[in-house]
């Protein structure tokens, strides 16, 4: 029997991505959607591509949680706002996967230092599990609240995880140069994502996503057992979807390519959604488009390891990963609804 | 139990599109692939996005047909070459869906007139059913050979079918102005599809696809019971996928929008893959992207009916439609493997 | 000695296009710029690409006209707002080129019928010359007010002008299917021009630019001496710049290609910015990009003439044409500042 | 009086870019063009955007050098082939600007080590000046042969030049992560630049342009007076034009942002084509599009200096820089033909 799902803030791109996957998921039934901006609209008026596939009206967030019982709520609400609604849903005993950063840092002290304000829902924070299955699969299984990782954090952590887990990052100097498609910035019109500004352009954003830089450092340090520093610079590239991370890592150890390659291969051998390319190969974002796969290629130049990792920001970067987490939480096959290959061209 | 499938000429974009759908199809097993250019290559070396999803070597066309028995062969071979291999496969009693134009005209005389050469496989031609389910669903069911329609023909015929079937096209003057993405031109590198030539460009192609102009006229005339003329001008637009047809049709009858709208609604009411938009709405190609849906919008200005139809050239335009035909031929649910909604953005 | 120029509403794309041309014009000095949104900003903060090329602060429109004397004012203000400021500038005896539609219809009755409100500045309207040099070069020379044509009107009128002038359009049925880049919609962020919505999309806009449909009919009818009807459907295509018009014209006359071709050749023989392609050739928008050229190709199919015309919407479509008009008004060589070839790729 | 110019290998993108600039240059007359592929074609048949601007037939390279005397020859011939023709032209006493890498390394020993073959034209090599005006303006003035730098080398060297000249690069660890548009790969059709492969994709190219990595190291080491190491990884981004370099430089010195900023400001104060952005600003490639400008922004994070530099690969990246070199060689104003601002959007 299918589980029932509610989605808070369903009319942005992460909501569209999530709905697209859930509509194909054999064990899920979408019970309600919320949207403040499009409250009262049928979702297929908001997203005409869903016409004929989903016939359901968006509710105002104030109307529903609790009235229509569901097994799980996904919150696609903005940072800072999500927490309040998540805490309400949790209070009613419903499990939650939260897309915002509100519960990504397990520690209220860290949160306060970063965002210059106290965390408002510390009780919930203690329940939260960081939703990267490659790190916390077992904890996710029984979690009441899963904090879905940021897209940049996901790609950088997956790119470095085998190194961190094997003691290669201690004191290291890591640079993560990210190239990201535009949909990651969301659906709200802004000059910075206006077609004629973005198309045929590319630029660096040295001041955005500082929270995700903190997130990846926090998780990698936790894993490495000592502080890991990442210099993270995101760039805007005129494609709809996809994140390509080029990670430069000066290794401390005298090491060789074979050894590093084996560490990755062993670490990710069983992972259903992380794919290590064969030696000398590197992924493009089209090799993962519209899928939940993260592909990783490795090169060693002297003592500099260059890791190239690619994922779809609306797939493994957020909505796909959320469904992967849901599958784990409810005991479904981990790739249910996520088994289709990337789409090309 | 799954049927076994072979694909001739599998390493172009139609092959990639077809494989992508079949890999998700619960009743199909891909038994062999042919490719001359990439003979001996694993398909996931040709198409890295299939890495981890399909592990099969491409054979030369000369090696296999007949050796590995299958229930159906899809031929993605080029026009003029496909016929020869299709005839061989048919001779062995295997059913075929052919993507080329070789069997799209039911009449060898018409073929000869168009292509200035006699049809070489007239026996097969007589077995061929034109693979537009909205026209010939019943004949497709038992066909040995299905001639999969051209992408332009599909969108124009679907746009006009209710009119043709209801006597509105007699003697009419129809203009079909087509805007098409670049993948329809195939994967072979040419200057006309070289990135820097195409990107930020758009242009009309007044001399290409004359065969499809003939194809749509042939089928529409057949349906209307009298000659239908279509002025067809394809345009190249810098997107990967998608065809948008703007069809201008001066109606003979004194008529009104409601009546025309009802004719379309009635005609397409039961069709699983044709979606009539509500009044005053028109589709964009992203509303059908990566799906097997054709969406149609209608406007009437004076006596000029403007029909806007959109489909994905690798979905309903070719590979999706081929799978739809296969489903009909083998008694599977018609939307099996094709049930996912379009993907946005 | 250089003339002094002021620009009202200089911080949109037409303003950027105009400034880009004027900065290269040997006989022009930009004296002031206005902008409400960016009042007080240096123009190179609004448009970083002008950094090092133009160092001037944007004024509020309320501050300047009249205070800083100039020889000509370009108004890039929105429809309906421009008229008020244009009338003030004219009152002071300064010549004006207006980019809005406010003075494009020479007749207040026509204006009222179209826009459901009386024209507020009829005195100015009577002074206005329609700024298509290929039609009204002589009148433009001494005009106090030039109404710069719409971009769609320019490409359609130029595509049909030789026919209209030679009696070929009487009672004819004309369809103008337009494919337009996104910058024509302006710089204000909207969902309809948000990158991820537009990119990889194309769609028809059956309800936009009805004013330009009226504009082209009005001018073509005037020229033909009898009513000319144009069915005009603009389409949105994901490129920054460029308009491609495919014009379908059922000719009344028994005629042949040679005769039509000669009519175009003769008509445009001396025009510096209209280029008739050789027989059988058709333009792409990249063949005119960043220039003031309109290129035209012709095909005849039976009695259907297909005219393909291309221009850059910020070149001949608006800002380039405005400078061409200015050159005529001030007795400069008509191609001054506009002599550079298109840029490719 | 205008100088006469010949262009070897004029029908690629660098040729198109060069011709586009020269057609606007008041002191230049294009005397002949060579092309093997398009020998006998009018250049405006090869490049329709030049229609009406340039009416000259492409000659085979075997026919002309020497027959039609010119003041300077630009060679856009491929690496390895250019040298032979350059040496012939030099023998006749004509000055040359060579776009290939054949004369970029001043030292035949270095050349041999890199390319595993002896340099064939050592005499010419000794005459060659490396054509980066910001480094060798004075030597360029009287050079018989100018080796125009690679586009990647130009952007990286300009990004690091003030540091190298002021002793900041000694023993430093530099990473240059490059994002480059597609036109840099040339006009010859290949799968790697086929529209549907490139569009909506991005990828790293860890094995291409190793020669330019060597070039930038060679010139920076020369300048720094000690070996400078650059880890250089180019990425392919789906835009026509533009290179964005994000350069990560761990500084040895205890230093502060102000000091670094002043060093750049002082170093580039007089340079006509290098623009240092104000503090906290970073360039996008559209801020330099279609111009000869290189814009540079700086950020300091701890001891990590992040330098973001942007140029147009067909402007300052190759053809614009070549014209700048020509201007220096012939005593023209350095910005002649290059004075137009970037074009936006």
Q: What is the pLDDT of residue D247?
A: 98
Task: Check which CATH number belongs to the domain holding A70 and give it.
Answer: 3.40.50.720
Between B169 and C332, where is the model more confident? C332
Tell me whether residue C199 is in a domain. Answer: yes
Active site residue C151: yes
Task: Please check whether residue C198 touches A, CB under 8 A.
Answer: yes
Q: Can you give chain B as a three-state secondary structure string? A: CCEEEEEECCCCHHHHHHHHHHCCCCCEEEEEEECCCCCCCEHHHHCHHHCCCCCCEEECCCCCCCCCCCCEEEECCCCCCHHHHHHHHHHCCCEEEECCCCCCCCCHHHHHHHHCCCCCCHHHHHHEEECCHHHHHHHHHCCCEEECCCHHHHHHHHHHHHHHHCCCCCCCEEEEEEEECCHHHCCCCCHHHEHHHHCCCCEECCCCCHHHHHHHHHHHHHHHCCCCEEEEEEEECCCCCCEEEEEEEECCCCCCHHHHHHHHHHHHCCCCCEEECCCCCCCEHHHCCCCCCEEEEEEEECCEEEEEEEECCCCCCCHHHHHHHHHHHCCCCCCCCCCCCCCCC
Tell me whether residue D335 is in a domain. Answer: no
Percent of chain C, pLDDT > 90? 92
D109 plus D174 within the same structural domain: no
Tell me whether residue B341 is in a domain. Answer: no
Q: Is B40 left (phi over 0), alpha (psi -120 to 50) or beta?
A: left
Q: What is the pLDDT of residue D273?
A: 98
C194 plus C129 within the same structural domain: no
Identify the closest residue of chain A to D178 by CA–CA distance: A177
- What confidence tier does B208 reach under pLDDT thresholds 50, 70, 90? confident
- What confidence tier does D66 reach under pLDDT thresholds 50, 70, 90? low
- What confidence tier does C251 reach under pLDDT thresholds 50, 70, 90? confident
Query: How far apart, in whole angstroms, are the C-alpha atoms of residue A281 and residue A298?
Result: 8
| Per-residue pLDDT tens digits for B299-323 | 999 889 999 999 999 999 999 999 9
Mean pLDDT, residues D8-15 taken together: 98
Mean pLDDT, residues C196-222 taken together: 95
Query: How far apart, in whole angstroms, are the C-alpha atoms of residue D319 and residue D16?
Result: 9
B136 plus B250 within the same structural domain: no
Distance (Å) from the alpha carbon of A291 to chain C's nearest alpha carbon: 18
- What confidence tier does B239 reach under pLDDT thresholds 50, 70, 90? very high
Partner residue facing A233 (CB), from D231, D246, D250: D246
| Per-residue pLDDT tens digits for B96-116 | 999 999 999 999 999 999 999
Tell me whether residue D345 is in a domain. Answer: no
D neighbours by CB contacts (3+ pairs under 8 Å): A, B, C
A90 plus A198 within the same structural domain: no
Q: What is the pLDDT of residue C254?
A: 74
The rounded mean pLDDT for chain C is 95
Residue A278's Cβ-side half-sphere holds a number of Cα atoms within 13 Å equal to: 5
Q: What is the pLDDT of residue A207?
A: 85
Task: Please check whether residue C137 touches B, CB under 8 A.
Answer: no
- What confidence tier does C95 reach under pLDDT thresholds 50, 70, 90? very high
Q: What is the pLDDT of residue D208?
A: 86
Percent of chain B, pLDDT > 70? 98
Q: What is the pLDDT of residue B340?
A: 97
| Per-residue pLDDT tens digits for C298-326 | 999 988 999 999 999 999 999 999 999 99
Mutate which: C195, C241, C343, vs A, most A CBs within 10 A = C195
D130 plus D19 within the same structural domain: yes
Check CB contact under 8 Å for B340 and A341: no
Check CB contact under 8 Å for B20 and A277: no
Task: Please check whether residue C199 touches A, CB under 8 A.
Answer: yes
Tell me whether residue A341 is in a domain. Answer: no
Partner residue facing C343 (CB), from D20, D275, D295: D20
How wide is the angle at C-alpha B81 spanned by C-alphas B75 and B83, nearest 5°?
65
Tell me whether residue A208 is in a domain. Answer: yes
Edge-to-edge strands, sheet with B128-130: B58-59, B28-34, B3-8, B72-75, B95-98, B145-147, B128-130
The rounded mean pLDDT for chain D is 95
Q: What is the pLDDT of residue A44?
A: 97
In this predicted complex, what is the ipTM? 0.97
Q: What is the pLDDT of residue D253?
A: 65
Identify the closest residue of chain C to D289 by CA–CA distance: C49
Tell me: pLDDT of C65 over 80.
no
Q: What is the pLDDT of residue A274?
A: 98
Partner residue facing B194 (CB), from D187, D200, D238: D187
Check CB contact under 8 Å for B48 and A287: yes
| Per-residue pLDDT tens digits for C146-155 | 999 999 999 9
Tell me: pLDDT of B130 over 80.
yes
Check CB contact under 8 Å for C203 and B231: no
A neighbours by CB contacts (3+ pairs under 8 Å): B, C, D
C191 plus C139 within the same structural domain: no
Cβ-Cβ contacts under 8 Å, B238 against chain C: 237-239
Between A209 and B133, where is the model more confident? B133
Task: Check which CATH number belongs to the domain holding C183 and give it.
Answer: 3.30.360.10
Tell me whether residue B337 is in a domain. Answer: no
Structural domain of residue C44, as residue ranges?
3-148+318-330
B225 plus B132 within the same structural domain: no
Q: What is the pLDDT of residue C170?
A: 75
| Per-residue pLDDT tens digits for C259-302 | 999 999 999 999 999 999 999 999 999 999 999 999 999 999 98
Q: What is the pLDDT of residue D170?
A: 76
Mean pLDDT, residues D199-208 taken together: 94
Tell me: pLDDT of B253 over 90.
no
Mutate which: C15, C45, C189, C196, vs A, most A CBs within 10 A = C196
Q: What is the pLDDT of residue C266?
A: 98
Partner residue facing B193 (CB), from D182, D183, D194: D194
A25 plus A117 within the same structural domain: yes
Between C301 and A200, where is the model more confident? A200
- How many domains, in total, are found in chain C? 2
A118 plus A88 within the same structural domain: yes
Check CB contact under 8 Å for A16 and B345: yes
| Per-residue pLDDT tens digits for D181-194 | 999 999 999 999 99
Query: How far apart, in whole angstroms, are the C-alpha atoms of residue D250 and residue D168?
Result: 10
Between B227 and C62, where is the model more confident? B227
- Lowest pLDDT segment from A316-330, B57-71, B105-119, B193-207: B57-71
A64 plus A210 within the same structural domain: no
Query: How far apart, in whole angstroms, are the C-alpha atoms of residue D11 and residue D50?
Result: 12
Scanning chain C, the segments in alpha helix (DSSP H) are 13-22, 43-46, 82-91, 108-115, 122-127, 133-141, 151-165, 195-198, 210-224, 257-268, 319-330
Scanning chain D, the segments in alpha helix (DSSP H) are 13-22, 43-46, 82-91, 108-115, 122-127, 133-141, 151-165, 195-198, 210-224, 257-268, 319-330
Chain D 222-241, CB below 8 Å of chain B: which residues? Answer: 238-240
Mean pLDDT, residues D109-117 taken together: 96
Chain C 11-50, CB below 8 Å of chain A: which residues? Answer: 13
Q: Is the peptide bond before B76 cis (omega within 30 degrees of 0)?
A: no
Q: How many CB pairs under 8 A join B and D?
A: 56
Query: How far apart, in whole angstroms, are the C-alpha atoms of residue D300 and residue D251?
Result: 10
Tell me whether residue A83 is in a domain. Answer: yes
CB burial readout B97-128, b (16+ within 10 A) else e: bbbbbbbbbbeeeebeeebeeebebeebbebb
Active-site amino acid positions of D: 151
- Lowest pLDDT segment from A214-218, A248-252, C186-190, C247-251: A248-252
C136 plus C252 within the same structural domain: no
Encoded tokens for C315? 């070149």
Q: What is the pLDDT of residue D61?
A: 86
C144 plus C31 within the same structural domain: yes
Task: Please check whether residue C190 touches A, CB under 8 A.
Answer: yes
Q: What is the pLDDT of residue B64?
A: 61
- What confidence tier does A32 reach under pLDDT thresholds 50, 70, 90? very high
| Per-residue pLDDT tens digits for B59-93 | 998 876 668 999 999 999 999 999 999 999 999 99
Check CB contact under 8 Å for B24 and A339: yes
């Amino acid at each position: 029997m299918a589980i029932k799902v509610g989605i808070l803030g369903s009319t942005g791109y992460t909501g569209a991505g999530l709905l697209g996957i859930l509509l194909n998921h054999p064990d899920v039934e979408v019970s309600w959607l919320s949207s403040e901006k499009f409250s009262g609209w049928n979702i297929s008026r908001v997203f005409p591509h869903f016409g004929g596939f989903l016939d359901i009206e968006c509710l105002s967030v104030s109307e529903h949680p609790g009235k229509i019982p569901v097994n799980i709520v996904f919150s696609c609400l903005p940072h800072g706002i999500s927490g309040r609604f998540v805490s309400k849903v949790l209070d009613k005993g419903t499990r939650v996967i939260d897309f915002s950063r509100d519960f990504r840092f397990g520690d209220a002290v860290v949160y306060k230092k970063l965002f210059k304000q106290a965390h408002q829902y510390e009780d919930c924070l203690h329940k939260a599990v960081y939703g990267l299955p490659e790190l916390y699969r077992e904890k996710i299984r029984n979690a009441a609240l899963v904090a879905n990782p940021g897209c940049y954090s996901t790609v950088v952590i997956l790119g470095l995880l085998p190194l961190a887990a094997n003691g290669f990052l201690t004191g290291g100097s890591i640079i993560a140069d990210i190239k990201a498609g535009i949909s990651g910035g969301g659906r709200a019109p802004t000059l910075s994502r206006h077609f004629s500004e973005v198309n045929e352009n590319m630029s660096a954003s040295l001041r955005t996503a500082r929270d995700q830089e903190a997130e990846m450092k926090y998780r990698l340090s936790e894993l490495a057992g000592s502080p890991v520093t990442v210099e993270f610079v995101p760039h805007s590239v005129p494609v709809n979807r996809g994140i390509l991370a080029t990670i430069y890592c000066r290794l401390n150890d005298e090491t060789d390519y074979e050894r590093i390659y084996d560490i990755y291969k062993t670490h990710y051998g069983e992972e259903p959604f992380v794919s290590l390319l064969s030696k000398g190969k590197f992924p493009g974002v089209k090799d993962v488009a519209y899928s939940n796969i993260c592909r990783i290629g490795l090169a060693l130049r002297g003592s500099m390891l260059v890791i190239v990792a690619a994922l779809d920001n609306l797939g493994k970067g957020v909505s796909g990963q959320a469904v992967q987490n849901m599958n784990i939480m409810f005991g479904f096959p981990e790739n249910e609804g996520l088994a289709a290959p990337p789409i090309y061209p």
